[in-house]
Amino acid sequence: MMKSRTISLSLLLMAALAGLAFAQNAGISSGYPTPKNGFTDSQQRGHGLYLRYCVYCHGVYGDGNGDNAQFLDPRPRDFTAATFKCRSTPTGTLPLDSDLIHTLIRGIETTNMPSWRPLSDENRQDLVAYIKTFSDRWKTEKPGDPIKIPPEPAVTIESIKHGHELFEKMECWKCHGQQGHGDGPSASTLTDSKDQPIRPYNFAAAHNDARFKCGVTNEDLYRIFMTGVDGTPMPSFADVIQPNDAWDLVHFLRTLQIDRRSKENDVLKSAGGPSILKTAEPKAENTVPAESDRQVSHAGH
Amino acid sequence: MRTKQLLVALLTLLLCPCLLFAGTVSGKVTYTGTPAKPKPIDMSKEPTCAKQHATPVTTETVVTGPNNALANVVVYISAGAPDEGQVPAQAVTFEQKGCQYIPHVLAMHTGQELKVVNDDQTSHNIHPLAKINREWNKSQPPGTPPISEKYDKEEFIPVKCNVHPWMHGYFAVLKTSHYDVSKDDGAFKLPNLPPGKYTITAWQEDYGTQTADVTITGNETKDVNFTFKAKPY
């Protein structure tokens, strides 16, 4: 028979554990039952989530200077600048909430930003609400109008050839290289907007699974070069490529992912393979990649 | 005859609004010490630009002239200016030529239209690294129309082209229309100032800023000079 003191202590312990369990299930607490600093409920919940999941990279002030940041390349996003890589809105404009939520779900390929898919939809919305408190731009500006993407036309060899012409004419190869390896003449000197060295996307990097920084699909690729990757050297081509021509460029770019099973690669193969795409021979002064360039281009994938 | 000429002169003076805002601040920007030697720029990665320059161009971080003159210094009224709201109707032009920015420092009013023009045979991307204004980045292949933009807030914005890493320039976006950018002789002039107390600021991209206070009482020309201490490297 147990002593009454043991029983009451056990009951107390069970209550405490139950209470703890309840607290966990009720969601992440930010420590303040009522919102502080004029935050909405959503922002307050987002604050708690941020302190749990984000602060070690993105920092207490949201400026990308968390404790881990010094070990990361590229550095974490600085939310105080309100400049975002992955948007459906034009360069220089604020993204839509859905852009930020998609970034949370996908993570950012080739960086240390993981996928936060396991969080709930409400968690992600709260996080987006909170990170907006880091910059006053969200108070004074509206997000840009998302770019209009026409329906994708069929993948044909003409489309791929035209895309190749655009690739040459827009001089994408200057950074991305003729094979899209990220080893063009300007690649080794590229820096992002915080003066950190950065490499262009290498289309032949992964194998069958090649993902882009801001997505996976043809439509994502379209959006990337039409809105630009803000904060990096990648500019927007929205003013200089017609919306329908942009699909041709997408089809050509997919053929640079030579190991990927895709309609584009099939069409190119049955038309004779990459050799049918004539590249204007670059002048001798342009083509010699420095030894260091080639070494760097294989690092860090 | 003389009376008639006198009357015409008097009428012209009366009608001329410049009589009301006739104060001027002018002077020279110079340096002391020895500035770092400008380095030659290697444009071999862009042959279409390299061949436009008989001798290699040099870096433009510090551009000097005879008698220790300092060029590309933005001199403007930072306090006391009467017309901060007036946005000029005409655009200012920023040209990309020979893989250089012309002018190296472009001053403009907030809200004024900025036109960026590519006169080269190569693609450039125009990437102003604004921190207070929006940061945007647009590609501009040869033969495409000018890019039109404007900035709403006062800021000195470094401009670069990612494709050609030696290209550097500045946008000086100012709240006032009383500004000038010194040329190779280091001279600047701020005319049409009504009477008042003003703070004049001189900005050089590497040497920082200096200020001077000046009071205009009528139509006089006040002489204000700025001297920057050159950095040896």
Summarised one tens digit per residue, pLDDT across range A244-266 is 999 999 999 999 998 888 999 99
Q: Supply the DSSP string of B9-42, one letter for each residue.
A: HHHHHHH-GGGTT-EEEEEEEEEES-PPPPPBP-
Q: In what order do the strands lie in the sheet with B168-174?
A: B105-109, B168-174, B155-160, B124-128, B138-140
pLDDT of amino acid A291: 40
- The alpha-carbon radius of gyration of chain B (Å, integer) is 20
Q: Compute the Cα dihedral for A74, A77, A80, A84 and give only its sign.
A: positive
Residues in chain B: 233
As a whole number, mean pLDDT of residues B69-91 equals 88
> How high is the ipTM of this complex?
0.84
Contact across the interface for A186 and B162, Cβ inside 8 Å? yes
Weakest-pLDDT range from A188-197, A209-218, A237-246, B94-103? A209-218
Crossing angle, helix A97-106 and helix A121-131, to 10 degrees? 120
| CATH fold group of domain B19-80+178-233 | Immunoglobulin-like (2.60.40)
pLDDT of residue A170 exceeding 80, the answer is: yes
pLDDT in tens, B9-63: 666 555 554 455 689 999 999 999 999 999 999 999 999 999 999 998 999 999 9
| Structural tokens at position B186 | 């280091």
- CATH code for B85-175? 2.60.40.420
> Residue A37 has what pLDDT?
80
Question: Which residues of A are less than 8 Å from B127 in CB distance?
Answer: 193, 233, 235
What pLDDT score does A10 carry? 84
Backbone angles phi, psi at A92, to 5 degrees: 85, -5
Beta bridge partners of B127: B160
Q: Which residue has the higher pLDDT, A276 or A153?
A: A153
Q: What is the pLDDT of residues A85-123, one digit of tens each?
A: 999 999 999 999 999 999 999 999 889 999 999 999 999
Q: What is the pLDDT of residue A157?
A: 95
Considering CB atoms only, which of A93, A190, A235 is closest to B137? Answer: A235
If you average pLDDT over residues A54-72, what whole number do you get?
96
Contacts of A231 in chain B (CB under 8 A): 135
Chains A, B: CB pairs < 8 Å: 80
The CA distances from residue A91 to A83, A171, B23, B67, B172, in Å, are 9, 19, 43, 44, 21
Q: What's the confidence (pLDDT) of residue B162? A: 95
pLDDT at A18 over 60: yes
* Residues belonging to chain A with any Cβ–Cβ distance to chain B shorter than 8 Å: 81, 83, 90-93, 169-171, 174-175, 185-186, 189-191, 193, 228, 230-240, 283, 285-286
Sketch the domain layout of chain B as residue ranges.
19-80+178-233, 85-175
| CA B126 from centroid of its chain's CA atoms | 18
Instruction: Check residue B198 and report its DSSP letter.
Output: E
The DSSP line for A95-146 is: PPHHHHHHHHHH--TTSS----TTS-HHHHHHHHHHHGGG-THHHH-PPPPP
Contact B163 A239 (CB under 8 A): no
Return the pLDDT at A25: 34
Q: Does the CB of B47 have a partner CB in chain A at under 8 Å?
A: yes
pLDDT confidence bin for A14, thresholds 50/70/90: confident
What tens digit of pLDDT does each residue of B178-192 get?
A: 999 999 999 999 998
Q: Between residues 64 and 103 of chain B, which touch chain A (CB distance below 8 Å)?
A: none
How far is A263 from A254, CA to CA, in rounded Å? Answer: 9
Q: Where are chain A's structural domains?
A: 39-140, 157-297
- DSSP code for A215: B
Residue A23 has pLDDT above 90, yes or no: no
Per-residue pLDDT at A1 exceeds 90: no
Cβ B125–A283 below 8 Å, yes or no? no
Cα separation, A70 vs A61, whole angstroms: 15
Average pLDDT of the residues in A30-45: 80
Closest Cβ–Cβ partner in A83, A238, A283 for B135: A83
Q: Which CATH class is domain A157-297?
A: mainly alpha
| For range B117-143, the mean pLDDT | 96
Give the model's pLDDT for residue B1: 62
CATH superfamily of A39-140: Cytochrome c-like domain (1.10.760.10)
Q: Mind listing the pLDDT tens digit for each residue in B182-226?
A: 999 999 999 989 899 999 999 999 999 999 999 999 999 999 999
- Name the residue among A228, A220, A167 with its Cα closest to residue A193: A228
> Is pLDDT at A75 greater than 70 in this prediction?
yes
- Select from A93, A171, A286 the Cβ nearest to the Cβ of B45: A286
Question: A288: pLDDT confidence band, cut at 50, 70 and 90?
Answer: very low
